[in-house]
Structure 1
Amino acid sequence: MKLRYLLAALSVAFAFGMNALTLPRIIGDNMMLQQKSNVLLWGWAKPGSKVKVVTDWNGKSYSVQAAGSGRWDIRVATPEASYETTSFTIEGDGKKIKVRNVLVGEVWFASGQSNMEMPMQGFIGSPVDGSNEAIAASGKLKHALRFSTTPRQLSAVPLDSVGGPWVECTPENAAEFSAIGFYFARRLNEMLDVPVGIINCSYGGTRVEGWMPGEILKQYPEIDLTLAAKPGVMEAFQPMSMYNGMLYPLAGYTVRGFLWNQGESNVGMHDTYHKRLAQMVEHWRKLWDDNSLPFYAVEIPPFCYGDGLDGVSAALLRESQQKSIKLIPNSGMVSSIDLYTPGLWCQIHPSVKQPAADRLAYMAAGRTYGIQGIQYQSPSYKSMEKIDNGAAVMVRFNDAVEGMNPYQGMKGFEVAGEDRKFYPANAEQIFGPYPVVEGVKLSCPEVKNIVAIRYRFKNWPEVGNVYNLRQLPLMPFRTDNW
């Protein structure tokens, strides 16, 4: 298999011309470089030839010798972020390439399936809320935001070159940007006041296994690696195809962190999803040679999925997503359980994209950039205590020190007795001496001895309205293992 990969890599190198200085599409005009870093640049040239990079921001020169395959890699020091554009020159094989209109700022790598891929203009029959207004005003961000969209490309072997060119943020271009990526970048720019770049490497309908390498997947007996990039096979059933064809060629491009919006195609695989996602992230970090890169994910949206509105297949996958965050160091997940249009249970591409992106940006601002005062963690279940001889329970939550919202009329909780039948619960917030919040008391006339509770633990949990005081939604949960 390794020989097969090597031959594929060499064939790509020859295709790009080993006797001529060549750059991948991700390195070129309009690109965004990560600030205050030794960023990776690479390309191809005649084997053994000298390649030199000269940076206009400091006048420094960097040199490297192309390897026997023709590939060269070089690291270049970048300055602090600035809205002033800059440039650099690459020379080799008697050829000189000037890379112009470069911004230095914060770069994030966004990946996943269709809810990350979904552009500002929307999909057919699937709009993005507020997109026209945002696109119309996007020209003001021309020197603040940059985007690179990776073309869909499937491969059975790792490729050397792929990726879309970087483009400026203008009304003409913005409609094609990932909506999650655009809103994340815009909000982060507002908070940091530095340029932000997004590499969107996503493909609709794909499973987590599509973004993992064969060397990991071969340990799973149910995975058939011969299906990778096989004509006529749905993308969801093609292991490693997106990893080989889209992600691997971009590995190492210097970024601040990863954004992930995926999981719908793994519904029904909750027993393995969290473990495989953790393996994927660990491998990505090795590819980028940085085991501390943050990984921030979005939970899957409400939808009918395969077992109907009141089914729990998606709830189980959300639970697995939450488990993955406990397995992955320096990671976090934002909830999207409330981000849907009421009644549109048949729409797996919610139009409500900005709040999810904002929540990712708040998490990045608080956790990665250390901005104080921003709450970014949704409240989550902490503990349950029986009271009133089991006729009620006191439920306590993490990240809700000042209590929950609304003050009264909380909905979405369910309780069950030993018969395992769930009923809607009455919820009452209990306060102790100020500023102590005891928790939320749950009770139900139909259940005399409560043994389990759930909150929005359904595929389409349209009933549910509990938030903390910063309007971050309570994460769905269950206390049972039924």
Structure 2
Amino acid sequence: MLALAPAAMARVEMPAQLGDNAVLQQQADVRLWGRAKAGSQVEIAPSWTSSKTVVKAGSDGRWQATVATPAASYTPYEITVTDGDGPAATMKNVLVGEVWIASGQSNMEMPLRGFWTQPIEGAQEEIVFSGEWKNRVRMATVPKRRSYTVMDTVSGSWQVPAPGTTPEFSALAWHFAKSLNRILDVPVGVIACAYGGSSVESWLPQTTVDSYPGWSVEREKNDPDQKDWERASAMYNAMQQPIAGYTARGFIWNQGETNVGRHAEFVGHMSGLIAQWRKDWGNPDMPFYQTQLPGWDYSDVDATNAALLREAQARCAETVPNGGFVCTIDLTYPYESKDIHACQKKPIGERMAMLAAKDTYKVDGMPYSYPSFKSMKVDGKKAHIELNDAWNGLTPNNTPLEGFQAAGSDGVYHPARAVVRLNTLGIDIECDDVDRIVNVRYAFTNFPRGERVRDLMGMPLLPFRTDNFEK
């Protein structure tokens, strides 16, 4: 259950997120809950209907109910809840629209005001004019907490965009919400629940983590050298469980930096997280969209440990039903190789919204896919790459492409020349440093250098490799 924040002088208590300025999922049986006088009849009266819902509080005073919501609109509603024994609790300025849960680590947590010495691109304009979105976007932020035991309360109420509130909004979630609102023209609410530095395992229950080879939550508890922000199950217990069940459409997720170096187990653990969260929300088909790692040096820009994690992220997103991912390989500036918090959050939010619009809401015309490797044909020192989803062309198309490498039979990679083959929209690669090309890589390093290849909608060619080496 969410934290119970009683309205002034009200006997009935409601969770923090079930308060003023909330966004409720449209056309759904929305779950409401709280506390009242033990054994009392709790009456719920939404202003969008004359019908009332009545449920009985338990011996501990806890109650829960489902209320059918109307179609989305910008009309503000109220919901009054009373137990007949005192002043009513009233949710005011409630919007009905689309609700999403945003989670992960620091690149999801990162607020519009930025982190210390790390800005968000375009933040000033977003903050100054955020009031324009007060009836279109809302956000609730779960505070960062850790616990080795499951908690049933959490704070964090819904906020209306304004220069005084928006600086603390998750920048990625803000741009996602704004973009989705512009596409769907309905209110969008996001509950942001992220913790910088957390691992996939931080957001899983102890029983699941303990089932993984080599993992033990109990051992972690007694390890003084364990980083607090990486503790397994700690965020699941303290942050996710208290909000689990708030009726929502889907999840957006930005995480992975802490799991770099553990790519072999990533697909299994991340797939387990998705299944667990869908179970916790009571919806086995709930959309779950991930963000692929952007570039960072991880102590060596030319190493491949982050590239291997990106590969695992893509494999997980592509194999989990009703999932997907956003590529960010083109969204770091050259000077950001040592900045794990890249400043370009707007295009990530936009791409996430386009993915949701296409896959969840079935909006036609969304440029949500990426050019990707399909096949390779080798002719000595030359290789011919065929691509998927490159039907509308590639850019740059009249200059050499950057980021390609070729290896011969010895497995040693060398820089390769690459150009777009205009007649078939493939890529021709040539490398004088090998007798015969055996394998090719593109942007398969921690921090790929140079200009990225994109389609005509600006969607980047996905990093790829044709080998199966461990490095």
Question: Considering the TM-score relative to the shorter chain, is it more than 0.5?
Answer: yes
- 8 Å contact from structure 2 (residues 172, 345) kept in 1: yes
Q: Does 1:395 align with 2:385?
A: yes
Q: Does 1:405 align with 2:395?
A: yes
- Indicate the SS of the match to 2:96: strand
Deviation at 1:20?
5.1
Deviation at 1:236?
3.8
- 8 Å contact from structure 2 (residues 252, 290) kept in 1: yes
- 8 Å contact from structure 1 (residues 32, 104) kept in 2: yes
Deviation at 1:235?
2.7
- % same residue: 41
1:32-43 to 2 correspondence within 5 Å? 32-43=23-34
Q: Does 1:138 align with 2:130?
A: yes
Moved more, 451-460 or 376-385: 376-385
* Partner of residue 263 from structure 1, selected from 246, 250, 256: 256
Tell me, in whole angstroms, the C-alpha distance in 1 between the residues paired with 2:53 and 2:215: 44
Tell me, in whole angstroms, the C-alpha distance in 2 between the residues paired with 1:62 and 1:352: 46
- 8 Å contact from structure 1 (residues 45, 93) kept in 2: no
- 8 Å contact from structure 2 (residues 391, 425) kept in 1: no
- Indicate the SS of the match to 2:285: coil
Cα distance 1:236–1:317, how it changes in 2: closer, same or farther (>3 A)?
farther
Cα distance 1:214–1:462, how it changes in 2: closer, same or farther (>3 A)?
same
- 1:204-231 deviation line (CA, Å, top 9, x unaligned): 0000000011121120242221335988
- Indicate the SS of the match to 2:363: coil
* Partner of residue 280 from structure 2, selected from 284, 287, 304: 287
Q: Does 1:92 align with 2:83?
A: yes
Tell me, in whole angstroms, the C-alpha distance in 1 between the residues paired with 2:39 and 2:269: 40
**Corresponding residue number in structure 2 for 1:4:** none
**Corresponding residue number in structure 2 for 1:23:** 14
- 8 Å contact from structure 1 (residues 155, 229) kept in 2: no
Deviation at 1:438?
5.1
- 1:332-352 deviation line (CA, Å, top 9, x unaligned): 111111111212211000011
Moved more, 358-367 or 458-467: 458-467
- 1:148-179 deviation line (CA, Å, top 9, x unaligned): 00011111111111140001011111110000
Deviation at 1:49?
2.8
Deviation at 1:114?
0.2
Number of residues of Structure 1 aligned to a counterpart in Structure 2: 462
Tell me, in whole angstroms, the C-alpha distance in 1 between the residues paired with 2:435 and 2:174: 50
Q: Does 1:471 align with 2:464?
A: no
Tell me, in whole angstroms, the C-alpha distance in 2 between the residues paired with 1:67 and 1:400: 59
Moved more, 398-407 or 270-279: 398-407
- Indicate the SS of the match to 1:171: coil
Q: Aligned AA for 1:262?
A: Q
Q: Aligned AA for 1:404?
A: L
Q: Does 1:253 align with 2:263?
A: no
- 8 Å contact from structure 2 (residues 390, 425) kept in 1: no
Cα distance 1:36–1:229, how it changes in 2: closer, same or farther (>3 A)?
farther
Moved more, 243-252 or 456-465: 456-465
- 8 Å contact from structure 1 (residues 119, 177) kept in 2: yes
Q: Does 1:329 align with 2:315?
A: no
- 8 Å contact from structure 2 (residues 294, 328) kept in 1: yes
- Indicate the SS of the match to 2:462: coil
1:45-444 to 2 correspondence within 5 Å? 45-92=36-83, 94-95=85-86, 96-226=88-218, 227=220, 233-306=226-299, 308-386=300-378, 388=379, 390-409=380-399, 410-432=401-423, 437=424, 439-444=426-431
Tell me, in whole angstroms, the C-alpha distance in 1 between the residues paired with 2:35 and 2:459: 47
**Corresponding residue number in structure 2 for 1:6:** none
Cα distance 1:442–1:169, how it changes in 2: closer, same or farther (>3 A)?
same
* Partner of residue 44 from structure 1, selected from 35, 48, 53: 35
- Which consecutive residues of structure 2, in runs of 5 or more, have no partner in the other structure? none
* Partner of residue 445 from structure 1, selected from 427, 432, 445: 432
Tell me, in whole angstroms, the C-alpha distance in 2 between the residues paired with 1:473 and 1:344: 18
- Which consecutive residues of structure 1, in runs of 5 or more, have no partner in the other structure? 1-8
- Indicate the SS of the match to 1:23: strand
Tell me, in whole angstroms, the C-alpha distance in 2 between the residues paired with 1:412 and 1:289: 44
Cα distance 1:191–1:135, how it changes in 2: closer, same or farther (>3 A)?
same
**Corresponding residue number in structure 2 for 1:3:** none
Tell me, in whole angstroms, the C-alpha distance in 1 between the residues paired with 2:376 and 2:268: 27
Question: Please, what TM-score do these two structures have when normalized by structure 2?
Answer: 0.94
**Corresponding residue number in structure 2 for 1:461:** 448
Q: Aligned AA for 1:403?
A: G
- 8 Å contact from structure 1 (residues 456, 463) kept in 2: no
Tell me, in whole angstroms, the C-alpha distance in 1 between the residues paired with 2:221 and 2:120: 32
Tell me, in whole angstroms, the C-alpha distance in 1 between the residues paired with 2:224 and 2:44: 41
- 8 Å contact from structure 1 (residues 163, 250) kept in 2: no
Q: Aligned AA for 1:98?
A: T
Q: Aligned AA for 2:439?
A: A
- 1:407-456 deviation line (CA, Å, top 9, x unaligned): 12221111110111111222122244xxxx25111111112211111111
Q: Aligned AA for 1:238?
A: R
Tell me, in whole angstroms, the C-alpha distance in 1 between the residues paired with 2:334 and 2:410: 31
- 1:181-219 deviation line (CA, Å, top 9, x unaligned): 111111111111111111000000000000011121120
- 1:258-294 deviation line (CA, Å, top 9, x unaligned): 0000000011110111111111011111111111111
- 8 Å contact from structure 2 (residues 382, 429) kept in 1: yes
